[in-house]
């Protein structure tokens, strides 16, 4: 007998944000004091504005026609989502480690990526996208 998997509400909302690229929905989903941990930036980034900037840039760089989630694992207040996509001919494999608070707002978002050439490519492309985003503000 297979046990049905119930997707937590914040993860359902996250999938909708990824699909729609809806910035307002992303803002509503993130806690004010959310912490973002990047695969290339040494220090955690704290706060909704900087986390939104990183996630928005990631959606521009990674969220192409090849992007898809391969697997998902859920805990009571956390999830790990494994993703894969191809960026400029390089296969990117990674995970989003997501934690949410009692109000179902994401309060911790960590991204890990492999292999090294994918990390290097994302570092280059995310840097450009973040510069473009800050120039538009």
Which strand (E) or helix (H) includes residue 35? strand 30-37
What's the CA gap between 133 and 127, in Å, rounded? 10
User: How many Å separate Cα 55 from the centre of its chain?
Assistant: 6
Residue 2 pLDDT more than 90?
no
CATH of domain 32-130: 3.10.450.50
Least confident of 74-83, 92-101, 119-128: 119-128
Residue 4 pLDDT more than 80?
no
pLDDT tens-place string over residues 50-66 = 999 999 999 999 999 99
Q: Are 117 and 90 in contact (CB under 8 A)?
A: yes
pLDDT of amino acid 130? 86
Task: Give me the percent of the chain exceeding a pLDDT of 90.
Answer: 83
Which positions ≥6 away from 55 have C-beta within 8 Å?
26, 36, 109
Cα 88–46–87 angle (5° rounding)? 5
Domain ranges of the chain: 32-130
């Amino acid at each position: 007998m297979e046990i049905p998997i119930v997707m937590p509400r914040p993860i359902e909302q996250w999938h909708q944000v990824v699909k729609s690229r809806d910035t307002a929905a992303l803002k509503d989903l993130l806690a004010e004091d959310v912490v973002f941990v990047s695969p290339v930036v040494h220090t955690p980034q704290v706060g909704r504005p900087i986390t939104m900037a990183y996630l928005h840039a990631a959606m521009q760089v990674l969220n192409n026609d090849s992007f898809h989630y391969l697997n998902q694992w859920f805990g009571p207040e956390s999830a790990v989502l494994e993703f894969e996509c191809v960026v400029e001919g390089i296969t990117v494999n990674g995970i989003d480690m997501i934690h949410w608070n009692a109000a179902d707002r994401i309060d911790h978002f960590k991204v890990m990526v492999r292999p090294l050439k994918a990390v290097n490519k994302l570092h280059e492309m995310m840097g450009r996208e973040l510069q473009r985003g800050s120039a538009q503000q």
